[in-house]
């Protein structure tokens, strides 16, 4: 038997390393093979231990801790897997994985990310070998064109077009750059691919470098991804040692090397020209376009930039044909897309699905719906530059055009689910707080406009909204979209615009009635104690930091509204449900 522990960042955070160490401490005689794998995507089930008999997966065990690891080891050693049947993934949770179509994530959670041999055993580097032996750069670009692969970093621009432009551009040197600066709150698709399957990124980049004529490539990855950097560095070293990277790859005339640049974690560096500025050692700020990077990019030489997920699809397309990729998806959006499904969802994690599925299918069929028995309210698509889509539009297909028509965007793949306890005004304020702080400051509309938006939204959530604030928000949004220099600034107003479009009544309630319909905005809450339910236990009075609760023991208590700071500790600590909010 062989045990494979899922050691992506999510698994490690849940305790996978401790589980691994416990298994190793039990395996002193070496009778059980123990190794690691990456993130399978089912983050809600971590730590995960897969049991293999040879190359066959025979049992997936979930939510393993150090204590249950002892049972897992004993079962693997004896071969009695029925003894750990209670730890196995349920059919319901298994459907989270079986309902997906995995291409970019095809190896994630299934192979050892630190083993070149494991990647090659899964058809790794066959695509670059095919390209170098059988295809011209033009044929590679044509295959990508046939596939319909669009950039998965957010813009959805045709990948082949960017490659072709860089190939045809005139310059002394050409550069290929991978954008792994994943800055969207709630998004972790690129991190998972690098941590779990780094060689798929390398192979995809090599094919792209061959297509555009680049001998030098960079992976720009944020420094907050230490595990991804460590595993990518090892993968690069192993690839060089195997003549899969460097000079005369696989005995051909093609040479290319890849280097890692650790970025400081600026959200604006997700914009390609700001990334180039940072890569050159300057402050990350967008450039005016044109010229585009394909003409003048890194060091003013022709450059091509794609993100991790885009490159992770390339080897599969070369091996299986562009037509096979194009057969999945919709007329306007081909292939599959990876989403980070997070928020108030029962089954959160990474989801890769064919384009064309509806939001309802992803959230309810794959994600299992809303947790804690609450009601779905909205889903934020596309990160802080995306938009909030309401329940009435849950049957919208996942397609660049159809999502765009709602006011949201596909983005890099963040999908944050909200329930009826979420205040949409406060949600817009949260995202504007992020974009205002992350603005590079180069253009006035973004630097000042996002700050004014955030200030106005903050006033409203604090119960200080005034007549004309909604019109002010709309005016600011229009100005920022029209005047911002880069795409990040131009899309920053989307959370405000979509919440105004679909949840305008919540804005009106905050401003006109000084009420938060979701009961989330603390400044608009009024706490009171029901004298019938109150048992006079005094716990709420003892927990109140403002000493705003009065009452004798075993007698109903009351809250002094003039002293109440609306922290909610009284309600959180009341065991009788006596503390109410309005």
Mean pLDDT across the stretch 359-385? 94
Question: Does 154 map to a domain?
Answer: yes
Mean pLDDT across the stretch 337-364? 96
Question: Does 196 map to a domain?
Answer: yes
CA atoms of 582 and 527, how far apart (whole Å): 7
What is the reported pLDDT for 498?
A: 96
Region of poorest pLDDT, from 220-224, 380-384, 557-561: 380-384
Joined tokens for residue 515: 């009420």
Mean pLDDT across the stretch 449-470? 96
Averaged pLDDT score across all residues of the chain = 95
User: At 220, phi and psi to the nearest 5?
Assistant: -95, 105
Q: Are residues 244 and 122 in the same domain?
A: yes
Determine how many CB atoms are found less than 10 A away from the CB of residue 482.
9
Alpha helices in 27-115 (DSSP H): 66-78, 91-98
Question: Does 158 map to a domain?
Answer: yes
Express each pLDDT in 7-52 by its tens digit. 999 999 999 999 999 999 999 999 999 999 999 999 999 999 999 9
CA atoms of 265 and 221, how far apart (whole Å): 8
Greatest Cα pair distance in the chain: 88
CA atoms of 280 and 231, how far apart (whole Å): 24
Mean pLDDT across the stretch 223-244? 97
Q: Are residues 359 and 317 in the same domain?
A: no
pLDDT exceeds 80 at position 336: yes
We report the CATH number of the domain holding residue 373 as 3.10.20.600
Q: How many DSSP H helices and E strands does the chain contain?
A: 24, 17
What is the reported pLDDT for 413?
A: 87
Mean pLDDT across the stretch 164-188? 92
Of the three residues 462, 479, 513, the one that is the final residue of a domain is: 513
Q: Closest by alpha carbon to 470, among 444, 508, 430?
A: 508
The CA–CA distances, whole Å, from 543 to 521, 524, 546, 562, 572 equal: 21, 21, 9, 17, 10
Segments forming the whole domain that contains residue 359: 336-419
Phi-psi region of 537 (alpha: psi -120 to 50; beta: other; left: phi over 0): alpha
CA atoms of 48 and 61, how far apart (whole Å): 6
Q: Are residues 276 and 366 in the same domain?
A: no
Q: Are residues 504 and 537 in the same domain?
A: no
pLDDT exceeds 80 at position 154: no
We report the CATH number of the domain holding residue 11 as 3.40.30.10
We report the CATH number of the domain holding residue 441 as 1.20.1440.230
Question: Does 263 map to a domain?
Answer: yes
Q: Are residues 141 and 178 in the same domain?
A: yes
pLDDT band at 270 (very low <50, low <70, confident <90, very high): confident
What is the reported pLDDT for 156?
A: 82
Number of domains comprising the chain: 5
Q: Closest by alpha carbon to 89, among 35, 131, 31, 50?
A: 50
pLDDT exceeds 80 at position 155: no
Phi-psi region of 220 (alpha: psi -120 to 50; beta: other; left: phi over 0): beta
What is the reported pLDDT for 533?
A: 95
Q: Are residues 277 and 365 in the same domain?
A: no
Q: What is the separation of C-alpha 350 from the centre of its chain, rounded to a whole number of angstroms? A: 8
Of the three residues 299, 326, 353, the one that is the final residue of a domain is: 326
Of the three residues 459, 492, 513, the one that is the final residue of a domain is: 513
Q: Does the CA dihedral 203-204-207-213 come out positive or negative?
A: negative
What is the reported pLDDT for 382?
A: 86
Is residue 550 a contact partner of residue 541, using CB atoms and an 8 Å limit? yes
Is residue 561 a contact partner of residue 578, using CB atoms and an 8 Å limit? no
Q: Are residues 173 and 305 in the same domain?
A: yes
Question: Does 463 map to a domain?
Answer: yes
CA atoms of 429 and 176, how far apart (whole Å): 37
CA atoms of 343 and 340, how far apart (whole Å): 10
Alpha helices in 329-423 (DSSP H): 359-360, 400-405
Mean pLDDT across the stretch 86-102? 96
What is the reported pLDDT for 177?
A: 98
Pairing, β 387-390 against β 376-381: antiparallel
Express each pLDDT in 378-429 by its tens digit. 999 988 888 999 999 999 999 999 999 999 988 888 899 999 999 999 999 9
Is residue 3 a contact partner of residue 30, using CB atoms and an 8 Å limit? no
pTM of the predicted structure, to 2 decimals: 0.91
What is the reported pLDDT for 392?
A: 97
We report the CATH number of the domain holding residue 549 as 3.30.70.20
Q: Are residues 498 and 350 in the same domain?
A: no
Q: Are residues 262 and 359 in the same domain?
A: no
What is the reported pLDDT for 38?
A: 97
Question: Does 103 map to a domain?
Answer: no
Q: Are residues 177 and 272 in the same domain?
A: yes
Question: Does 106 map to a domain?
Answer: no
Strand blocks (E) in 243-310 = 257-263, 303-307
Determine how many CB atoms are found less than 10 A away from the CB of residue 522.
17
pLDDT band at 159 (very low <50, low <70, confident <90, very high): very high
Question: Does 104 map to a domain?
Answer: no
Q: Are residues 233 and 250 in the same domain?
A: yes
Q: Are residues 415 and 431 in the same domain?
A: no
């Amino acid at each position: 038997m062989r045990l494979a522990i899922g050691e992506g960042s999510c698994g490690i955070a849940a305790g996978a390393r401790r589980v691994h160490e416990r298994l190793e401490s039990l395996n002193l005689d070496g009778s059980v093979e123990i190794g690691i794998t990456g993130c399978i995507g089912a983050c809600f089930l971590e730590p995960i231990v897969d049991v293999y008999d040879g190359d066959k997966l025979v049992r997936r065990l979930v939510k393993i801790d150090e204590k249950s690891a002892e049972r897992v080891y004993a079962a693997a050693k004896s071969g009695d897997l029925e003894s750990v049947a209670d730890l196995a993934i349920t059919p319901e949770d298994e459907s989270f994985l079986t309902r997906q179509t995995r291409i970019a994530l095809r190896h994630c959670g299934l192979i050892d990310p630190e083993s070149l041999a494991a990647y090659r055993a899964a058809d790794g580097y066959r695509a670059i070998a095919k390209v170098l032996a059988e295809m011209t750069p033009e044929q590679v670009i044509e295959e990508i064109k046939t596939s319909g692969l669009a950039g998965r970093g957010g813009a959805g621009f045709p990948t082949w077009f960017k490659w072709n432009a860089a190939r045809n551009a005139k310059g002394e040197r050409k550069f290929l750059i991978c954008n792994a600066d994943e800055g969207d709150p709630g998004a972790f698709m690129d991190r998972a691919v690098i941590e779990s399957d780094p060689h798929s990124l390398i192979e995809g980049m090599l094919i792209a470098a061959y297509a555009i004529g680049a001998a030098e490539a960079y992976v720009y990855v944020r420094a907050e991804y230490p595990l991804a950097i460590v595993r990518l560095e090892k993968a690069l070293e192993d690839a060089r040692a195997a003549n899969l990277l460097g000079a005369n790859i696989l005995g051909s005339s093609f040479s290319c090397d890849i280097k890692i640049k650790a970025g400081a974690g600026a959200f604006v560096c997700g914009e390609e020209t700001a990334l180039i500025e940072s890569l050159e050692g300057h402050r990350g700020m967008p450039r005016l376009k044109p010229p585009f990077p394909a003409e003048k990019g890194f060091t003013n030489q022709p450059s091509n930039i794609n993100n991790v997920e885009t490159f992770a699809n390339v080897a599969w397309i070369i091996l299986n044909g562009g037509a096979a990729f194009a057969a999945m998806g919709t007329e306007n959006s081909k292939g599959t897309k990876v989403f980070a499904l997070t928020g108030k969802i029962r089954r959160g994690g990474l989801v890769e699905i064919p384009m064309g599925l509806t939001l309802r299918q992803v959230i309810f069929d794959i994600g299992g719906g809303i947790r804690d028995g609450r009601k779905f309210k909205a889903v934020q698509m596309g990160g802080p530059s995306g938009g909030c889509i309401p329940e009435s539009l849950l049957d919208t297909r996942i397609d660049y055009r159809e999502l765009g028509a709602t006011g949201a965007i596909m983005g890099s793949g963040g999908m944050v689910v909200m329930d009826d306890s979420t205040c949409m005004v406060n949600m817009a304020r949260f995202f504007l707080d992020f974009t205002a702080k992350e603005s590079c400051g180069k253009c006035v509309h973004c630097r000042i406009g996002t700050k004014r938006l955030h200030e106005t939204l903050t006033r409203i959530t604090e119960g200080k909204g005034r007549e004309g604030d909604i019109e002010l928000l709309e005016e600011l949004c229009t100005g920022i979209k029209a005047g911002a220099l880069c795409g990040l600034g131009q899309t920053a107003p989307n959370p405000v615009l979509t919440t105004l479009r679909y949840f305008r009544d919540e804005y009106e309630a905050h401003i006109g009635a000084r009420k938060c319909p979701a009961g989330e905005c603390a400044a608009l809450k009024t706490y009171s104690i029901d004298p019938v339910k109150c048992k006079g236990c005094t716990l709420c009075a003892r927990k109140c930091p403002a000493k705003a609760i009065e009452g004798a023991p075993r007698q109903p208590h009351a809250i002094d509204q003039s002293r109440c700071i609306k922290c909610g500790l009284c309600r959180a600590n009341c065991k009788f449900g006596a503390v109410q909010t309005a």
